[in-house]
Amino acid sequence: MKILTFIFLVFFGTVLSQTNRFFYELKFKSDSTTNNYRQAIMVLDINSEEIKYYDNNFLVKDSINKKFNQENTSWTSQIPVTRKIGTEKNTNYEMIDFQVYSYQTNDEIKWKLLDETKKYQDLNLQKATTNFRGRKWTAWFTKDFPFPEGPYKFQGLPGLIILLQDEQNQYIFSLIKNVKLPETYDTSNFLEIRYGDKPIPVTEKIFIKKKLEFYNDPFHEIRAKLDEGKGNSFDYNGVRYRKSSELKPIVEQEREEIRKNNNPIELSKAIKYKK
């Protein structure tokens, strides 16, 4: 898809209340051993005071909800983040077992600017590289969009990041479209709060602990209900379970799935799950 509105460039000195929205196609491998890519459209909202990065499916779902007066929710395999303009402190949003948590991280990125340039869809791009959390990244940015921002936590270059990929080609971002909204777009109902369901604020250390707890016993709530007796049962993929001891095969399946899809964008933070 051709990038839109390149002819009229955006500048910081325009209406302060507007949102400059950039859409990136993301191809990624949640399983590093496979040759197959998964795809997502990610959104970068640049407002006067804040940056927001999230899955486009959030926007789609919110539009449907508004049209039909619903509050259906969805989530994403990618980590949404928000941060104040000019800072390196990000708020991360992640889900475990249908509960969303938020935690703060400080994410300094040190770039090496290179002299190499190229043209990409009428844009003048310059090359830069960085090492960030276990991956070596190459970015192509343009001063034609004078925002020192990019997808996810990547920022700090003298222009907007247009193309970005890691050395192993496991995460590949490409800008595909941009729009300018006349007012700051309110995401509070589907990002910062999910239709009244507030994320639980924790430290990153506690969040990792909770992920390990879920891995060790991914059906702990179901197990507790089955242990109560009282005729409780649980249906999963067409099979009905009445005793907690019967859950062992699907527990192992869930653990295997977690281990397989353990290739996060911040590779150094990949949890070493035990079999």
Q: Are residues 160 and 250 in the same domain?
A: no
User: Cβ distance 21 to 185 under 8 Å?
Assistant: yes
Residue 232 falls within a domain, yes or no? yes
State the total domains in the chain. 2
Q: Are residues 185 and 237 in the same domain?
A: no
Residue 8 falls within a domain, yes or no? no
Domain boundary among 177, 192, 207: 192
Q: Are residues 222 and 183 in the same domain?
A: no
Q: Are residues 46 and 161 in the same domain?
A: yes
Cβ atoms < 10 Å from Cβ of 162? 23
Domain boundary among 153, 177, 192: 192
Report the pLDDT value the prediction gives residue 17, as an integer from 0 to 100: 77
Range of the domain at 242: 217-269
Q: Are residues 77 and 122 in the same domain?
A: yes
Report the pLDDT value the prediction gives residue 125, as an integer from 0 to 100: 98
Residue 9 falls within a domain, yes or no? no
Q: Are residues 129 and 262 in the same domain?
A: no
Report the pLDDT value the prediction gives residue 11, as an integer from 0 to 100: 44
Return d(Cα 235, Cα 155) in angstroms, integer.
46
User: Cβ distance 55 to 219 under 8 Å?
Assistant: no
Q: Are residues 149 and 70 in the same domain?
A: yes
Contacts of 43 (CB under 8 A, 6+ apart): 21, 22, 23, 24, 52, 53, 54, 55, 56, 58, 59
Q: Are residues 103 and 29 in the same domain?
A: yes
* Mean pLDDT score across all residues of the chain: 92
Report the pLDDT value the prediction gives residue 230, as an integer from 0 to 100: 78
Indicate left, alpha or beta for 237 from its phi (over 0: left) and psi (-120 to 50: alpha).
left
Q: Give per-residue pLDDT as tens, 64-122.
A: 999 999 998 889 999 999 999 999 999 999 999 999 999 999 999 999 999 999 999 99
User: Cβ distance 152 to 135 under 8 Å?
Assistant: no
Residue 208 falls within a domain, yes or no? no
Which residue stretches of the chain have pLDDT < 50? Answer: 1-15
Q: Give per-residue pLDDT as tens, 111-135.
A: 999 999 999 999 999 999 999 999 9
Residue 76 falls within a domain, yes or no? yes
Report the pLDDT value the prediction gives residue 226, as an integer from 0 to 100: 86
Quick one: tokens of 16? 């302060």
Report the pLDDT value the prediction gives residue 16, as an integer from 0 to 100: 55
Residue 2 falls within a domain, yes or no? no
Report the pLDDT value the prediction gives residue 178, as an integer from 0 to 100: 97
Q: Are residues 122 and 228 in the same domain?
A: no
| Residue type present at position 115 | D
Q: Are residues 51 and 185 in the same domain?
A: yes
Report the pLDDT value the prediction gives residue 59, as an integer from 0 to 100: 96
Q: Are residues 108 and 229 in the same domain?
A: no
Q: What is the pTM of this model?
A: 0.92
- For CA atoms 102, 103, 108, 112, the dihedral sign is negative
Give, for 27, the enclosing helix (H) or strand (E).
Answer: strand 19-28
Which CATH number do you get for residue 64?
2.50.20
Half-sphere exposure of 270 (CA within 13 A, CB side): 17
Q: Are residues 53 and 173 in the same domain?
A: yes
Report the pLDDT value the prediction gives residue 225, as an integer from 0 to 100: 86
